Amino acid sequence: MKKQILIFAAIVCGMTYTTTAYAQFKIGGKKINVGKVVQAGTDAAKAITLSDADIAAMSKEYMQWMDTHNPLTKPDTEYGKRLEKLTGHIKEVDGLKVNFGVYEVIDVNAFACGDGSVRICAGLMDIMTDDEVMAVVGHEIGHVIHTDSKDAMKSAYLRSAVKNAAGAASSTVSKLTDSELGAMAEALAGAQYSQKQETEADDYGFEFSIKNNLNPYAMYNALNKLLELSAEAPKESKFQKMFSSHPDTAKRVARAKEKADEYMKNKQ
């Protein structure tokens, strides 16, 4: 039986979709040692100067936590075999080394982290075709390539770290406390990508589809399917609230179709 996924600080990994009606942002038993890149007393400055390596290190620890606390499908399962068929030939995307996995959870979701980890939820695979799944994967990778994930991490870290920087007594490296991690999670969970960032990720998903010889309409079909699902979701569900807070979603769907139409016209 597929379970609900435990999501922590999802925006850092470019997470975009969910149909689950319950609050999903939770912190589990294992700490993510974000403290390795945190210098007490200079939190704000460190947030500004977080490097790609810092983000990758945090993302790696985050993914270790996620893979420990969520049911990662095995290679010999139906989902595992489908994943291998879709992504087995993809080792690197625009210089980013990638690795893929499927969580056997009900969420209609996918995300990519700064360390190149890409995770697809079984719920997404259940409702989408192979090409649609890969278009969503391309969209999520686009958030990482465009540094959206890094920028979101910087912003959230700054907002959470500032709360404690004033009380720091030294400049020694220290682990973040549970409360500091909670503040970080709260800041990340409350973050959202801008319409511009989402549109650029849509474009990346479209180009990703073309480069991988997928259906040019895959990005459009995936977005349109999600929009239709939002209309069917309960009014108080997180999925419905997410889409109601993004009134330009329909415009994104229309734009994705226009790009596919133009591509097909030029191809003739």
Tokens for 106? 């009900």
159 vs 16: CA distance, rounded Å:
22
Measured torsion, CA atoms of residues 80, 140, 178, 72, in degrees rounded to the nearest 10: 0
CA–CA gap between residue 156 and residue 154 (Å, rounded): 6
- 140 catalytic per annotation: yes
Angle at 249 between CA 115 and CA 208, to 5 degrees: 40
DSSP category for residue 176: P
Q: Report the half-sphere exposure of 170 (CA within 13 A, side-chain side).
A: 3
In the set 61, 132, 140, 180, the catalytic residue is 140
Both structure tokens of 236: 């108080």
Neighbours of 213 (CB within 10 A): 7
DSSP string, 8-63: SSGGGGT------SS--B---SSPP-GGGG-BTT-HHHHHHT--HHHHHHHHHHHH
The answer to whether residues 7 and 33 touch, using CB atoms and an 8 Å cutoff, is no
Q: What are the catalytic residues?
A: 140
